[in-house]
Amino acid sequence: MEPGFRHQGCLYGSDADFLAVAVPFAQDGLRRGEPVLVTTTAANLELLHAAMGADAGRIAFAESAYVGRRPAQLADALHRYWTRHRSTAPTGAVRILAEPARAGDSRDQAAWQQAEAEFNVALAGTRIWMICPYDTRTAGAGVVADARRTHPECVVDGEIRPSAQFTAPAEADGAGADAPPRTAADLFRFEGDLVAVRRHVLERASALLRSEDTATLFGIAVGEAIAYLLDHGIDRAAVWVRPAAGRVVCTLHSDRPVDGPAFYGLRPAARPGASLWMTDQICEWLDISSDVAGCTIELAMRQRPAGAAQPAQE
């Protein structure tokens, strides 16, 4: 196996196609003494377990829904797996067949698209060989196109080929702030006053969220996002809150980019403010993008259903 992180996409349209990639990948890893982790659908786990026979007991199997439903959780799980098992492999490498749970709306898919792109940066220091299968029977055309753009290599008919559509992480499109504030009153200019920005967010979000406790958690998440910006030397940002697709979304945008890969902010940090790990645990959805145009953090929690009683206010 070549040194460094290898990130490959694989499109399959039948059970046989899936096994044609998964079985030799796992068998070769076991032959080399490399730990093998397979995380995919329950149906594919059953198929591969049967196909591997007695060797199945030497493979770690996990259903995608329990490994990390959100991009940051999956990245952290993969990194921890490598850290834990690399010392047991003669090559120092591990193999991972990872088909993440991609259920959800277009915003969820946008987050996965960006995560697939940023895996190339966040896991670059590891010796993980990862293949990401995409089932063309259930994945839409947009998902298939994203797979080609976010993987440097693709497995086609058993052969590894460079992806002509691959886009380097620095050039990849993030989810970003796709809905600007409707009026000037909706926009808050954060210039260092943490109390004021938190009050602004809660005033607009509380009436839309499910409960007072949810509003409190939302405020904590936004507070950590602000602390993350401050920790990276960013003390000015535009902040706005809006309902969108059944969620309450808060966007923070600065014209200054974060120094270093923003994706690292989703890992636990040794000191407060240095990461967005807690925000990711609290929120239903979180996205970070940072490039020459600036840094955008977008976080969301489920909106109160229409007709439900408004949460009590203090």
For residues 295 and 257, the answer to whether their CB atoms sit within 8 Å is: yes
Query: Is 230 inside any structural domain?
Result: yes
What domain range is 134 assigned to?
6-171
Residues 266, 233, single domain; the answer is: yes
**Same-domain pairing of 215 and 161:** no
Question: Among the three residues 138, 171, 204, which one is the final residue of a domain in this structure?
Answer: 171
The answer on 292 and 200 residing in a single domain is yes
Domain termination site, one of 171, 206, 229 = 171
Q: What is the mean pLDDT of residues 76-83?
A: 84
Q: Is the confidence at residue 261, as pLDDT, over 70? A: no
The answer to whether position 1 is within a domain reads no
> What string of DSSP letters covers 83-144?
HHHGGGSTTS-EEEEE-----S-HHHHHHHHHHHHHHHHHTTTS-EEEEEEEETTTS-HHHH
Under the banding of pLDDT at 50, 70 and 90, the label for residue 278 is confident
**What is the spatial distance between Cα 219 and Cα 306, in angstroms, rounded to a whole number?**
22
Query: Does 164 share its domain with 233?
Result: no
Would residue 179 count as lying in a domain? no
Give the separation between CA 220 and CA 202, rounded to whole angstroms.
10
**Model confidence at 313: pLDDT above 60:** no
Q: What is the arithmetic mean of pLDDT over 254-276? A: 72
d(CA 23, CA 174): 34
The answer on 164 and 46 residing in a single domain is yes
Q: Say if CB 94 and CB 81 are below 8 A apart.
A: yes
CATH number, domain containing residue 193: 3.30.565.10
Do 135 and 191 lie in a common domain?
no
**3-state DSSP assignment of residue 272:** coil
143 and 272 inside one domain: no
CB atoms within 10 A of CB 172: 20
Closest CA to 53 of 23, 94, 13, 12: 23
313 is a domain residue: no
Residue 311 lies in a domain: no
Q: Is residue 283 part of a domain?
A: yes
Position 205 in a domain:
yes
pTM: 0.61
pLDDT of residue 17: 95
- Better pLDDT: 95 or 161: 95
If one counts the domains in the chain, the total is 2
**Spatial distance between the Cα atoms of 30 and 266, rounded to a whole number of angstroms:** 31
Looking at the domain assignment, is residue 126 inside a domain? yes
pLDDT of residue 93: 94
Q: Is it the case that residue 314 has pLDDT exceeding 70?
A: no
How many beta carbons lie within 10 A of that of residue 58, not counting itself? 12
Same domain, 116 and 53: yes
The CATH code of the domain that includes 140 is 3.40.50.300
pLDDT at 303 over 90: no
Interval 269-276 mean pLDDT: 70
Same domain assignment for residues 212 and 141: no
Q: Which residues pair with 303 in a beta bridge?
A: 209
Across the chain, mean pLDDT equals: 81
Q: Which two tokens stand for residue 265?
A: 């902010």
What is the greatest pairwise CA distance in the chain?
65
Instruction: Out of 144, 171, 198, pick the residue that ends a domain.
Output: 171
Q: In this structure, are 28 and 86 located in the same domain?
A: yes
Question: From CA 154, how far away is CA 140, in angstroms rounded?
Answer: 18
**φ, ψ for residue 235 (rounded to 5)?**
-115, 10
